[in-house]
Chain A
Amino acid sequence: MATSIKKLPDIEQVLSGNGACGGCPATMGLRMVGKALGPNAIMLLTPSCSVASMGMTPKLGYNWPCINITFASAGSSASGIANAVEIMKEKGRFQGELPTVFTWVGDGGTYDIGFQALSAAAERNDNFIFFCYNNEAYSNTGVQRSGATPRGTFTTTTPTGKRQPKKNMALLMLEHHIPYVATATVAYPGDLYDKVLKAKSIPGMKYIEILAPCYLGWQFDMHDTVQMSRMAVRSGAWLLWEAENGKISFSNPSASIISGKKAAESVDDYVMKQGRFNRLLKGPDAAQRIAEIQGDINREIAFMRERAKIVY
C-alpha cells in the first residue's frame, strides 16, 4: 500500500506564492517530490513552466540550490554535478551527506531536445534522478506538440489534431538498463512519494515520469487537475508502474487493468472532458478518431502486460 496522505511529511520544498498557474500539476508533483527528497538535494531545470514558476532573479520559489541550464542538457549537466559533488566529497571539499542530484524537466526537455543527453547519462548510469513532468506539450510557450503529445490532440502546431502516437518514454528508459524507472501522476501522491523515496535510496540513474494534466494545454477547468490525472489512470491512458533492476510491477488502479481484474474505463469520458480532444471530435469522423485514441491505449496496455512478463 502506498503511504497514506496523513503520513506524508510536513516539509515543504515548494514555497507558497511562486509563479505557477493556479492548479498547476507540476508544482503539485514537485511538492510531493520535495517531501521525499528533503532539503539535501541539488535541482536542475531546463526551460519549461517550472522555470517560469520559480520566480525571477533574485527571488526563488523552491527551497533547493537550483541551476537553470541549456535546454538540451539536463542529462549531461546532472552528470556534471553528480560527479562534481562526489569527487569533492572524496577530496574533503564537500561537507555533510552527499545530496541527491535531480532534474526537473518537462516533456519537451525529455522526449525531444533533451533526449540525447538523457539517453547518454542513463547509459553511463550516472548517479541522479531524472524527473520528467509530462504535460504532453510545450505548455510554457503556449502549447505546441511534443513527442509526448498523444494522437488526436489539438495543439497550436497540430491544428487538426496530432496524427502520430506518443513515445513510450519510460519504457525507452527501462531499455537503457538503469536500476530504477517509474511512472506516477498527481492524483496518487502516496504512490509518487514512495517511488521518489525508493529512487533516492538507489545508486545510479533513476528515471521518474509524472503525468501532469495542464488545464491550460488540455483545456479543462483548473479545479479538475487531480480529477483529470485520476481519469487518465482509470482509462489506462496512463499506466502506473515501476521497474527495479528491470522487473516491472504495476500499482493500482493500473495493476487491476493490466491483470484484467478490472476493465479500464472507456476513454470517451476522459477525452470529451478535454478541449484539446473534444474540439476535434465533433465532426463526422469523430467515432473513428476516438477509436484511434482508444486503439493506442489498448496497444500500450497489451504491450506493457506482456513486457512485464519478461524478467531477466
Chain B
Amino acid sequence: MKAAQVIMATGNNAAALAVKSARVDVVPGYPITPQTSIMEAVAAMVENGELNARFIPVEGEHSVLAAAVAASAAGARVFTATSANGLLYMHEVLHMASGGRLPVVMCNVNRGIFAPWTLWADHQDSMAQRDTGWIQYHCSSNQEVFNTILQAFRVAEQINLPVMVNFDGFAISHCLMPLTLPPQEDIDRFLPPHEPGWRLDPAHPSSFSNVTVASEYAPFRQMLSDDIMASVPLVKEAAQEYKEITGMWDGDTIDTYRLEDAEVVAFAVNSMAAELRLSVDILLEQGIRAGLLRPRLYLPFPSEDIIQALPQNAQVMVLDRNYNFGHPGGILAAELKSALFGRRNDITVKNRVMGIGGIDLTRRFMAAEIRAMMEE
C-alpha cells in the first residue's frame, strides 16, 4: 500500500490537486483574482497529460457556469472556480444548477464585492448567494480545501445538488502550507466514478427543463428545498468515511475547539476561524472559559448540530466577515439566531462585523474584540 505524500502547497494548488484526484472530466474556466491560479494549474495539468480532462477557456463567468451545467447534464464530472464578481455574474446559472439538480462542484475563493473595488477577502460574495440552492462549505485551511472538494463531489453526486467550496482569498488561496495527499487508490475508494441517473443521451432522448405548469413546478421546488436539508447526513457520512480512509478530519457540518464547557463561544467561518483557535488560547490564558464553533457547512445551515453542541447558557460571539444589509450586523448572526429561536433560549448571541475587504484579523485583535463584546 502506498503512503500519503506531504508537499507544500497554496490553497489554490490544493484545490487544483483535488480536481486531479477527483478525476474530473470537464473544467470550464475564466480568470479572476484571487482564483486565477486554480485555473492556471488545471489548464497546465490538462495540457501536460497529468489530468485526462477538457479545460474550456470560456469568455466570462456566466459562460463558465453555463458550460459547466451543460457538461454535467451530459453526464460529466465537472469542476470550476471563481471569486467575488465572477460569482455574482453567475447568479442566474447558479439557480439553473440547483433547480436542474446538476452536481457541479465549484470553488469560490472569497473576495469582497465591487463597489468600490477590492481584491481581498470577505464573505459577501458567497453569502449573497445564500438563496440559490447550493450546498456551501467554508474551509479554514489548505488541507481542508483539498479534503472538502473530494467530499463535495461525493455529496453532490449522491443527492444531485451543486456544491460550493469557499475559502479566503490570499490568506488561504496564496499561502503555502503543508498538504497531505492521500494515495490515489484511497481517493478512488472514497469517490467512485460519476454515474448519473439521468443524462442527455441520444440512445434515450429526453428533455431537460421544458416549461412546467405550476402544479408540476411547485413539487420540484419543494423537493429541491427538502433535498438540500436532506444533504446533512450525507455531509456527515462523507466526512466520517473520508476520515476512515485517509485519517484526516476537518469536522463534518461543524468543527469545534474547546467547546465542551465554554462560557464564551467564538463563532465564525473560513480562515479567521483557524486564527480564532489561537484567540481562544489567549482567552483561556486570561481565565476566560472560551471555545470555538465553526460551521464548516454554511448551507444547509447546520442548526441541529449547533443546537446540540452549544454548552448551557453560553454567550456566542458571532464574528461576521460580511454585512446583512437592511439589518444590523452580519449574516451568520442572523442565521444563528434564527436557528436558536425557541430552541435554546439559554443562549445569548452577540455580533460584530470585521475583516471587511481583507482587513487583517489577528488572534490578539479578535481576542480583544471578544472581551469587549463580553462587556456589552
Contact = CB atoms under 8 A, between A and B. Distances in A.
A42 B202 contact: yes
A83 interface: yes
Contact of B59 (A80, A99, A117): A117
A65 B71 contact: no
Nearest to A76: B63
Interface in B307-341: none
B68 interface: yes
A62 interface: yes
A99 B54 contact: no
B70 A57 contact: no
Interface stretch (B151-159, B209-217, B222-230): B209-217
A87 B206 contact: no
Interface in A54-76: 54-60, 62-70, 72-73, 75-76
A67 B76 contact: no
B200 A72 contact: no
Nearest to B216: A57
Contacts of B93: 70, 73
A120 interface: yes
Nearest to B57: A124
A116 B211 contact: no
Contacts of B205: 39, 60, 62-66
Q: How large is the interface on B (under 10, 10 to 19, 20 to 34, 35 or more residues)?
A: 35 or more
A83 B92 contact: no
Nearest to A95: B203
A66 B208 contact: yes
Nearest to A86: B54
Contact of A80 (B56, B209, B212): B56
A91 interface: yes
A40 to B, nearest CB: 5
A8 to B, nearest CB: 21
Given A70-B92, A72-B62, A80-B71, 7 more contacts: A60-B205, A67-B208, A79-B28, A80-B26, A80-B28, A84-B71, A84-B72
13 contacts: A57-B213, A58-B216, A60-B205, A60-B210, A66-B208, A76-B59, A78-B70, A80-B28, A81-B71, A83-B67, A84-B25, A90-B52, A116-B60
